[in-house]
Amino acid sequence: MLKQSIPHSEIDQQSLPMELMKTNIFSVRITVITFTLILIASCAQAQDTIFFDYQMKEIKSMLGARYYQITDKDSADASKTVVRKYMRPKVLLEETRYSDLKNKVMDGIYRNYYETTQLHSVIPYKNGKIDGELITYWGNGELKRKDKYENGKFISGHIQNTHGKDLPYIDYIILPRYKKGEEKMNKYIQDNLIYPEEAQTKKISGTVQVMFTINSKGVVKDVSILKGVSPELDTEAKRVIWNMPPWKPGMVDGMPVEMPMVLPVKFVVSN
């Protein structure tokens, strides 16, 4: 917490009556307490804190939280917002800067860390695109990857092991993929989709945008409707996605991670 130093009074307190000195000291204490409360209140208004459990699901309070996230103005550039994610008690895991937080436009240096506090990656963003050198490190601090980007376009890249020996290059981000390919995925949806009778009778058709997550093991989770058509069609679209076979998980720097996905599910009333 910030500490405010109180300047010494220019009045020689030895020349004051004892009762007046007591009053003066009491007034200073009240002033300091009031200032501290105002400072705490102003910090609370400037910051926005969100808490997460062990599964990274948002919860309402610090009670039971494993992680937390603080959103604040960037002290180096007031036009930007910085979002920091921590593991309790106060281990910094991620630091992201945005020029437009609402639309998630990253701008500035992004950093993330291993839970050991070792730096994992440094990525420069400009107007939402990687621009400059993307650098990652192994858990022991040795260089792992050095990629070069210009305005979001990949230029060149290099990966090495912990002993500095070159490794086959793989993209920094690899999106989740249906194990049998996109054609087989479309066939799975067509074969398993059941057009609700009520929707057919009412001739309700359209495309349901289904949002879901592929976890680090390739399993579908957290299915929801991003853009629906009707309750009947939305429910059926969710059912089909929920029951999909496992995918190949997404990868970041060669490690499997959870990634959000969106799939359109089309309903067409046949003649």
DSSP assignment, residue 53? -
Q: Is residue 7 very low, low, confident or very high in pLDDT (cuts 50, 70, 90)?
A: very low
Least confident of 35-49, 57-71, 191-205, 207-221: 35-49
Mean pLDDT of all residues in 3-14: 33
**Structure confidence at residue 56 (pLDDT):** 85
Q: What is the pLDDT of residues 124-183, one digit of tens each?
A: 999 999 999 999 999 999 999 999 999 999 999 999 999 999 999 999 999 999 999 999
- With 90 as the cut, is the pLDDT of residue 267 above it? yes
Q: Residue 267: helix, strand or coil by DSSP?
A: strand
Q: What is the pLDDT of residues 30-78, one digit of tens each?
A: 333 333 333 333 333 346 999 999 888 899 988 989 999 999 998 888 8
- With 50 as the cut, is the pLDDT of residue 9 above it? no
Q: Structure pTM?
A: 0.71
**Structure confidence at residue 3 (pLDDT):** 32
**Structure confidence at residue 174 (pLDDT):** 96
Calculate what percentage of the chain has a pLDDT beyond 90: 75
Give the chain's mean pLDDT.
84
**Structure confidence at residue 47 (pLDDT):** 65
Least confident of 11-15, 170-174, 205-209, 267-271: 11-15
Enter the tokens of residue 205.
């058709």
- With 80 as the cut, is the pLDDT of residue 1 above it? no
Q: What is the residue-wise DSSP string for 92-155?
A: EEEEEEEEETTTTEE-EEEEEE-TTS-EEEEEEEETTEE-EEEEEE-TTS-EEEEEEEETTEEE
**Structure confidence at residue 77 (pLDDT):** 87
Mean pLDDT of all residues in 232-250: 97
Residue 89: asked if its preceding bond is cis (omega within 30°), the reply is yes
**Structure confidence at residue 97 (pLDDT):** 96
Contact 253, 157 (CB under 8 A): no
Mean pLDDT of all residues in 104-124: 96
DSSP assignment, residue 246? P
- With 80 as the cut, is the pLDDT of residue 13 above it? no
- With 50 as the cut, is the pLDDT of residue 251 above it? yes
